[in-house]
Amino acid sequence: MFPCIDTLSAESAHERGQIYGQQAKGRIQHSVVTYARLFAACGIDWASACERAMRFEPVIEQVDADLMAELRGMAQGSGQSLGSLMALNCRTEILPATFFTDEPQLAHAALAANRAAGLPDWLADAPWDGALKDGECTAMGVTASASQTGQAWLAQNWDWMGRQREALVLLHTQGPSGQSITTLTEAGMLAKIGINQSGFALGLNILRSNRDGSRLGVPVHVLLRHLLDCDSVAHARERLQVLQSDQGLGFGAASNVPCADAEGQAACFEVSPAGWAEVTPTDGVVVHTNHFVCESLLAEQAPMGPGLSSHNRLSTAGQHALKTPIGQADLERFLRDESDGFLSICRSPDPSVPPESRVESVAGIVMQTQPPAMWVACDVPSRVAFESVPLAAAANQLKGRQGQAIAA
């Protein structure tokens, strides 16, 4: 199982970041090297990526100043610059809108700048880097009405560069309301796929909008951490509305956020610089891959290369969604579906692609909302079992035990 980092004993956001940075130091460096090469393949050297990311600092401060304090603590604990941590957390905003196309990028100057800065190129010996233009995920949310057990579920395969499996961590942290949170994320990032003590669970499918990078807005991974403080799908909907309309911040790049809660509800929220929209369940189930499906956002879709299997995977996921009522075994079966070969819901690494750049299902995640529970397959799901993951203790309970210990 991926290493677990528990920051719930921290007395401040800065200290939470320090603990995270210290305990994940090597994995954060791994993330930096991975993304330095990924951005370079798009013609962006690491120094430029850090500079672009730092422009989002006032936006993050407005969303939640504690998150910036946590990032500063993480930088101190890991020995990385604040810009590097910001670049990891703003990676979706830095990637160009053309990321899903197969168009070659002029990476030579960016790679040279990275080498001069001492950043190794882990793809130096690969004959091509086409696989870097490809990131996929497939998610399913099941409402109580479509569930075998009467509670909502959320399941997702996380498809990304196979090398990033070595950077994954399970992070126990908390939100501004004191909600304890467990999230599976890439080291250095504030959050990704997770669940909190209220039984609110969320995931992530990357999307690409024509307007990505056109404006400052809430970075996707900051949004995920912010929403993980919610107690329901309805609460998340309210927060999205506040960010878009009341605070006027909006979103810096596109993504889909699938959600489920202990009240038995599920939904997908598509966000983009143009706004956000909701995908509601059909017969109690909602599925999503890597393209917009909300009518109000269809015009935002950036070009997609022929190697991206988003539409085919959505069709296959839709077939699984018909098999109600759905339980944990069905969700694990869904995440192990290999019916479309190397572009399946369960994606094995293609041996024709250089090992360093293969995209695969780095993990599979199933989350139960009531009582909150999480199971993780820590490799391609068809190869390994789903293991139960201990969730973060309720933050207020933990602090209460600490107080009792001090008093004793």
pTM: 0.93
Closest CA to 147 of 281, 9, 268, 27: 281
Residue 399 pLDDT: 46
Give the type of residue at 195.
I
Residue 403 pLDDT: 35
The three-class DSSP label of residue 41 is: helix
Interhelix angle 82-89/46-54, rounded to 10 degrees, is: 80
What secondary structure letter does DSSP report for 147?
Answer: B
What is the tens place of the pLDDT at every residue in 300-355? 999 887 768 899 999 999 999 999 999 999 999 999 999 988 889 999 988 877 66
DSSP H helical segments within 156-253, as ranges?
Answer: 220-227, 233-241
- What's the rounded Cα separation, in Å, for the pair 76 and 13? 13
Phi, psi of 307 (to 5 degrees): -80, -5
Rg (CA), the chain: 20
State both tokens at 313. Answer: 């995977």
State both tokens at 252. Answer: 């810096």
- DSSP H or E run through 374: strand 372-377
What secondary structure letter does DSSP report for 294?
Answer: S
Count other Cβ atoms within 10 Å, centred on residue 252: 27
Residue 342, strand partner residues: none
State both tokens at 380. Answer: 């391609």
Q: Sign of the C-alpha dihedral, residues 230, 235, 239, 240? A: positive
Domain boundaries, the chain: 8-403
- What's the rounded Cα separation, in Å, for the pair 78 and 347? 32
Residues of the chain scoring pLDDT < 50:
128-129, 131, 398-408
- What's the rounded Cα separation, in Å, for the pair 347 and 345? 6
| Unique residue bearing structure tokens 């609110």 | 200
Indicate the Cα dihedral angle 14, 17, 22, 26, nearest 10°.
Answer: -150
Assess contact for 332 and 381: CB atoms under 8 A: yes
- DSSP H or E run through 143: none
Closest CA to 10 of 21, 19, 22, 1: 19
Q: Looking at domain 8-403, which CATH architecture does it have?
A: 4-Layer Sandwich (3.60)
Find the distance separating the first CA and the last CA of the chain, reported in whole Å: 35
Count other Cβ atoms within 10 Å, centred on residue 239: 18
- What's the rounded Cα separation, in Å, for the pair 173 and 189? 12
Residue 407 CB-density burial (10 A; 0-12 exposed, 13-18 middle, 19+ buried): exposed
